[in-house]
Structure 1
Amino acid sequence: MRLLLAIFSIAFLALPTSAEERDTLLIQQQYNLSELEVVSRRPLSQIGVMQSKIAPLVLHDNIALSLGDVLTYGSGIFVKEQGRGALSTVSFRGTAASHTRVDWNGVALNSPTLGFTDFSLIPSYFVDNAALLHGSSSISQGGGGLGGAVVLNTDLSKLPHGHLLTYTQGIGSYKTFDEYLRYTYSGEQWQSSTRLVAASSRNDFIYTNKDEWADIKDEEGNILSSYHPRERNSNGAFRDFHLLQELAYQPNPAHRIGLSLWGTSSYRQLPLLSVDYGNPALRVNENREQSLRGVLTHNYIGAQWSLENRLGHSTSYISYDNGSRAVIDGPVSYFYQTRSLLHNTFAESKAQWFASPKLMLNGSAKIALQQARTAGKVHATGDPDLSKGLLHKRVEASLYLSAKYTPTDRLGISPALRFEVYGNRSTPLIPALFVDYLIYKPANLALVASVSRNYHEPTLNDLFYIPGGNPNLRPEKGLTYDIGLTYAIGKKDWKVSGSLNWFDSRVHDWIVWLPAGGSSAIWTPINYNNVHAYGIESALQGAYRISPKAQIDLQVNYSWTPSINQGPSIFNNDRSIGKQLVYIPRHSASLIATGTYTSWRFTYKYAYYSERFTSTSNSPSKLYTVAPYHMHDVSIEKLFSTRALDLGLKLAVKNLFNADYQTVMSYPMPGRNFELFITISPNFSPSHHK
């Protein structure tokens, strides 16, 4: 830490600070200190939609953040992490991780076999626009999002003209190194963007193991006292590499063609749990993933109608190995190994037609081919090869129609209908109705409401995994009601906006994996639970410009999400009925406050999750609960500008108050840690500072 502070201080003293007006201009460009606006009427396309957009400052706070980190502090949904640099999933409105639909440039990121998305493998710097669609609003993206949808997109249309090169180096605790490189070019008709993210860490933080006791003994071996030992998080290293190449060609204002290619190579060691007392130096527990995603797009914008076509493909190869060594650096004896090869090919077309200033019609059609080949080997059984697993293909098709109509200046109505096919079976029609009404124009106070039915199809593993898959599973059925208020007020130098929503969702035939026939050797999924998820979501955003050189920004989110198992009971003495689902907190909150003065920026982040139960009976015992925790992060940044280059220095402190916490039971998390970032951007244009 002393070395980082020394580098930070020397850099501040050594670099010349630019002229005052140049600093002000730079910070305005960097932090958007432009004229504040409040939009007085929601556009036709947003009638009744409950949507939360992630601000660019939150999304691109620093290069070390995954999208899971961004959602922790920038939303009210629960992010479940199995340790630093490990699997990260979300619970949206009290639902399961597989009930959140995730799309990147139209490419589905949900695993076809597991159903969920690992947000730790999505670099936040590979996303230009991020939005959360709550409840019924997710139907516009597709079926299955019983909780909601996370919609991610890149955008080359706003690139600055000419060439731009940016490089950021991050150096942090636990031998952590992060690198980000981006080169862009924007001309009259062509745009190009190349982004590279590389991250590695030994991740060997020290933590207090509260699942273990160590004894202090006297010379005769009598126990004098006991304590929780301090241990090192061994076997937790990770190395991630991401490359995103994009091209866009716009021959005329009406047509635009784009190509996005995203490649990932990830290696992650999976550390021992805090309840595993083996020698970590003798254990092998690691996961590797290589993936490639590509999408070709064509957009047409006419006077009254627009068209968007996408053709995409994604491939992922995932390997997992678990074993041990007899001696350090000796040969590995494997206990269990799996290999997965996943393919998703799709074509999609969307159209919008403005029949009149008050009526817009939407339609979309999509077809996709999901392919999965997985195999596993349990060495203890003597299997001669990777014989168990899954080999299956499934064609999926979807049709969507909606109308957006404003009969008066205050009232908006939007009915929608979706139909989906999965393999040889189809879901019933998925209807939805969205309404909003402008109550008070000066405050842009609007009532927003929606109701919808939705269906979530079983994953390929649920249906066909060998052993244990259940081809007789029914789709999970959801019925969701939403009602809320949105508002936005402001003047020249300040702005406040926000929302307060109530939601009520009932999910039938919730899929749960249970031991087959009372045996723990083989598990199988069944339609077991009926779940009632309801609650409140609230959000507040504010900005106040103190002077042309200074501004304060604030964002607050809070969610109350009871998610109750309503049975029916299929076991004797079932104590899970009427109880909160496991690993879903009732309360979650987040806050981001940013202060900007010329070329200085200070950021404070806060996140809170209430206790999570690990037993279906909600036992209050510490053995079956994950304690609530409060998380605090801060960062300070300084920007410099010369005629040759722009330079930024940033120091981030995570877990400021050194909290001892876990998101998932027995997965330790790091204490206070630091990272220093240096950003360099050469100025190719001689008129850059004019």
Structure 2
Amino acid sequence: MDIKSSLVFVFAVCNLSLYCGQEKSIDTVYIFDNQMNKVKLFHKVNSLIPADIQKNSSNLSEVLRFQSPVYIKENGRGAVSSPSFRGTTAQQTAFVWNGININSQFLGQGDVNNIALFGYDQMEIKSGGGSVIYGSGAIGGSIHLNNNLSFNEGLNGAFNSEIASFRTYNNFLKASFSNEKFSFKATASHAISQNEYEVPESRNYINRNGKYYNTNFNFAAAYKIAPFHQISWISEIFDGNQHYPVFFESQTQTKYETQNLRSLLSWDWKKSKFNNILRAAYTEENFQYFATLNQPRTSGGAGKNYIVKNDFNYFINPKWNINLIGEFQHNQAEGIGTSGIGDISRNIASAAGLLRYMPSSKIILEAGIKKDFVEGFDSPVLYSFSGKWKAANWYHFNLNLSKNFRFPSFNDLYWAPGGNPNLVPETSIQADMNHEFKAGDFKLVLSPYYIRIKDMLRWMNTPLGYWSPFNTDQVESFGLESQLTYQKQINQHHLKINAGYIFTKSKDLEINKQLMYVPLYKIFGNVDYNYRFIRIYAQGMFNGLTYTESNEKKSDALQPYFVMNAGISAIIMKKYTVGFKINNIFDEIYETTAYYPLPKRNYSINFNINF
């Protein structure tokens, strides 16, 4: 498919050409994040389908660790977990749910293990900045949790159950119905684990008080009210509980609970030359911290976000396209207990414009500009420029330049003690290039990049004995992301290989040292083989030396490690699938956070039925 044909699909304008006289009705597959397919034209994006996610069904941290360039810092299996893109931190990573930024208004980030693993039709990992489209925090990269709805597919359902080591149980149920005008889908998942594993080789570690459980419900519906009009709705409810590991029996056991609600309503109006999508969303986050396991909560918070967003896309002619995006948010938050955060609120508005130029089937250009209006702050003007050139059938070239930002979170401003109301938004300038080579069934993508962050928000110890955030750091990050893919099918034999190599140099320019928890090297690989009703897969991940202090002290660093997993499954009578997995086959001793080793060799079996 050439670039011009690709644009026809991603803009969902018509299915024959960029500019046609006969208007077409809404596509048979509705995607909630309409911008994502446009983003893919210019940026490096790893797309994972439910079958990929099932390989690492423990939690979202495992999926990202083994199947993406992201580094995951996890305080023990299933515990607090944060991502790092291209040498940045969790606060510079945006989590995007069906086009809506869902980073916590309190922390300014997303806790990876408090985000549901199942219930999404696609998970996409985008490297590089994206604040013009996805807002605050989209500096190092973004993780997208997407749902879609299909029409004319009747009634379908699936149930998956897994039993794993450490008394772990994962269950997932999905049901859907659709006809020509109406589509509905519902999913439910529940995971629970006692999570008591031992790693005696690492300071006789026992994952005491490591229990976790979570439940997630997802509902989505769409209805075609007229040939060119459609209304859609999706909601998600998440309830999670994490016990924080302790090193000794005598230590006080603690836990953390969270409840999240997200709901999105949209009205789509699509014709041959333009389309307009009006969205109204409501998101809610609630959390409670228990300093003593079976005692009343010590602190917590409740946040509510009201969002209205309009996305207007217009084809001036076959070569020129203009995209206008306006958004308004009202954020409310209330701290509970010792947090010191009172009843607070703020308003946020933004206006963005993107202009796309397609002079030929080999070249496509996009320029974007955005202005945010954040109550209490002077926000910078953001911009982006992207270009794609199909130089030959075997070589494509992409260039991306952008300015991105993150404004302070409620904790940054108001936490007591330590909140700092004098903070300013951090900004970043970045550039990356994608060199895509194709040879037969092989595809190689080389992506060198550069990021410069100014006024980076960082919590630091103060002379008064408590931590407080400051705009202190000038950070420079550069490196290379590369990915090799291969797919081949001969009769009923199907082989798929996906491998990546990442080099990251991320320095605090004040001391000229590598940032903490940013590995210099990461390599990951996945191999899938299918023959008739049998599927076999293997995956491996190598992580290089990782400093845990800002002084590059090797004696305190996390040592390099290699972890490999493998699994096999068989389809029985077309409806039933039985599978078996081995994680950490070679019994590697490894940590992603100092003093919290992850499990040695462990196992799981799973059963799936489609109906």
When the two structures are superposed, what TM-score results if normalisation uses the length of structure 2?
Answer: 0.91
Of 106, 110, 126, which aligns to 1:113? 106
What is the deviation of 1:40? 6.3
For residue 64 of structure 1, report the CA deviation from its aligned partner: 2.5
Please give the per-residue CA displacement for 1:296-340, whole angstroms capped at 9, x wherever unaligned: 11222211111112111111211111237xxxxxxx678x82111
Give the match's secondary structure for 2:237.
strand
Are 1:162 and 2:154 an aligned pair? yes
Matches of 1:425 and 1:296, distance apart in 2:
29
Which residue matches 2:475? 531
Distance, in Å, in 1 between the alignment partners of 2:299 and 2:280 is: 30
Post-superposition Cα deviations, 1:507-540, rounded to whole Å, max 9, x if no partner, equal: 1111221222x132x2211111100011111112
Match of 1:171 among 160, 163, 169: 163
| Equivalence for 2:344 | 392
1:291 CA drift (Å)? 1.6
Report whether the alignment pairs 1:515 with 2:476. Answer: no
Which residue in the other structure is 2:19 paired with? none
Give the counterpart of 2:496 among 553, 557, 565: 553
SS state at 1:562 partner: strand
Change beyond 3 A, Cα 1:432–1:108: closer
Determine if contact 1:47/1:413 at 8 Å carries over to the other structure.
no
**Does 2:550 align with 1:616?**
yes
From 588, 594, 614, the counterpart of 2:528 = 594
Counterpart among 149, 153, 158 of residue 146 in structure 2: 153
- Name which of structure 1's ranges 41-50 and 610-619 shifts more when overlaid on structure 2: 41-50
Q: Which of 363, 366, 389 is residue 411 of structure 1 equivalent to?
A: 363
Corresponding position: 1:250 with 2:224: yes
Matched-pair contact (CA < 8 Å) for 1:419–1:427: yes
* CA apart distance, 1:131: 2.3
The one-letter code of the counterpart of 1:250 is K
Percentage of pairs with the same residue: 23
Partner Cα distance (2:61, 2:73) in 1? 9
Q: Aligned to 1:388, what secondary structure does the other structure show?
A: coil
The residue number in structure 2 matching 1:346 is 307
Give the match for residue 381 of structure 1: none
Query: Contact 1:463–1:470 (CA<8 Å) still a contact in 2?
Result: yes
Go from structure 1 to structure 2 and tell me whether the alpha carbon gap of 1:269 and 1:338 turns closer, same or farther (over 3 Å shift). same
Distance apart, 1:48 and its partner CA: 6.5
2:132 corresponding residue in structure 1: 139
Classify 1:171/1:42 alpha carbon distance in 2 versus 1 (closer, same or farther; 3 Å): same
> SS of 2:124's equivalent?
strand
CA separation of 1:300 and 1:496: change in aligned 2, threshold 3 A: farther
- Shifted more, 586-595 versus 39-48: the winner is 39-48
Partners of 1:139 and 1:651 in 2: CA distance = 43
1:401 aligns with 2:353: yes
Deviation at 1:390, TM superposition (A): 4.1
**CA distance in structure 2 between the partners assigned to 1:562 and 1:459 by the alignment:** 27
AA paired with 2:238?
A: T
Q: CA deviation at 1:58?
A: 5.3
1:237-272 superposed Cα distances (whole Å, 9 cap, x missing partner): 111111111111123442221111111111111111
Gap change, CA 1:42 and 1:207, over 3 Å in 2: farther
Q: Rate the CA distance shift 1:507–1:91 in 2: closer, same or farther, 3 A.
A: same
**Counterpart pick for 2:68 among 44, 55, 75:** 75
Structure 1 distance, partners of 2:305, 2:381, is 24
Assess if the C-alpha contact under 8 Å between 2:3 and 2:364 holds in 1. Answer: no
CA distance in 2, matches of 1:136, 1:269: 34
Q: Deviations over 1:570-604 (max 9, x none)?
A: xxxxxxx1110001111112111000000110011
Q: Is the 2:104–2:285 contact (alpha carbons within 8 Å) kept by the matching residues of 1?
A: no
The equivalent residue for 2:437 is 487
CA shift digits 1:349-368 (9 cap, x unpaired): 11111222221111101111
Equivalence for 1:270 = 244
Secondary structure of the 1:350 match is strand
Structure 2 residue 551 is the aligned partner of structure 1 residue 607:
no
Give the alignment of 1:45-56 within 5 angstroms: 45=38, 49-56=42-49
Q: Deviations over 1:93-145 (max 9, x none)?
A: 11010101111013322111111111223333222123233324453222431
Q: Is the 8 A contact 1:63 1:179 kept in 2?
A: no
Q: 1:241 maps to what in 2? A: 215
Q: What corresponds to 1:319 in structure 2?
A: 288
Q: What's the counterpart of residue 321 of structure 2? A: 360
Q: Whose Rg is larger?
A: 1
Counterpart code for 1:277: F
Report the residue type matching 1:508 in the other structure. Answer: K
**Within 2, Cα distance between the matches of 1:241 and 1:407?**
50
Which residue of the other structure, out of 377, 380, 383, is the alignment partner of 1:431?
A: 383
Aligned twin of 1:506 = 452
Note closer, same or farther for the CA distance 1:136–1:232 as it changes in structure 2 (3 Å cut). closer
What is aligned with 1:22?
A: none
Q: Compared with structure 1, are the counterparts of its residues 140 and 333 closer, same or farther at alpha carbon in structure 2 (3 Å cutoff)?
A: closer
Does residue 665 of the first structure (1) align with residue 584 of the second (2)? no
* Matching of residue 544 in structure 1 with residue 496 in structure 2: no
Q: Distance in 2 between matches of 1:202 and 1:354?
A: 55
Report the equivalent of 1:88: 81
Aligned residue number for residue 652 of structure 1: 581
**More displaced stretch, 253-262 vs 235-244:** 253-262
For structure 1, which segment, 458-467 or 646-655, has the greater mean C-alpha deviation from structure 2 after superposition?
458-467
The match for 1:372 is 333
Contact 1:390–1:465, Cα closer than 8 Å, also in 2: no
Cα 1:496–1:657 shift into 2, 3 Å: same
- Conservation of the 8 A alpha-carbon contact between 1:143 and 1:420: no
The alpha-carbon deviation at position 68 of structure 1 amounts to: 2.6
Task: Look up the match of 2:26.
Answer: none
Gaps (5+ residues) in structure 1? 1-37, 212-228, 325-331, 378-386, 568-576, 683-690
Do the aligned partners of 2:486 and 2:497 also contact (CA within 8 Å) in 1? yes
- TM-score, L = length of structure 1: 0.81
2:100/2:134 contact within 8 Å kept: no
CA distance in 2, matches of 1:135, 1:500: 14
Aligned residues: CA RMSD: 2.1
Amino acid aligned to 1:485: H
CA distance in 2 between partners of 1:670 and 1:133 (Å): 28
Tell me, in whole angstroms, the C-alpha distance in 1 between the residues paired with 2:5 and 2:66: 26
Deviations 1:189-230 (A, max 9, x none): 11111101011111111212533xxxxxxxxxxxxxxxxx4x
Deviation at 1:71, TM superposition (A): 1.6
Change in Cα spacing, 1:403 to 1:488, as seen in structure 2 (3 Å) is farther
| Contact 2:212/2:243 (8 A) holds in 1 | yes
- Which 4+ runs in 1 deviate beyond 6 A? none
Q: C-alpha distance in 2, partners of 1:438/1:390?
A: 54
CA distance in 2, matches of 1:40, 1:294: 34
Secondary structure of the 1:343 match is strand
Counterpart-to-counterpart distance in 1, 2:477 and 2:495: 36
**Alignment counterpart, residue 519 of structure 2, candidates 565, 577, 585:** 585
Letter in 2 for 1:653: I
CA contact (8 A) 1:509 1:530 kept: yes
Check conservation: 2:78, 2:212, Cα contact below 8 A: yes
CA distance in 1 between partners of 2:563 and 2:39 (Å)? 34
- Tell me how far apart the structure 1 counterparts of residues 591 and 570 of structure 2 sit (CA, whole Å): 33
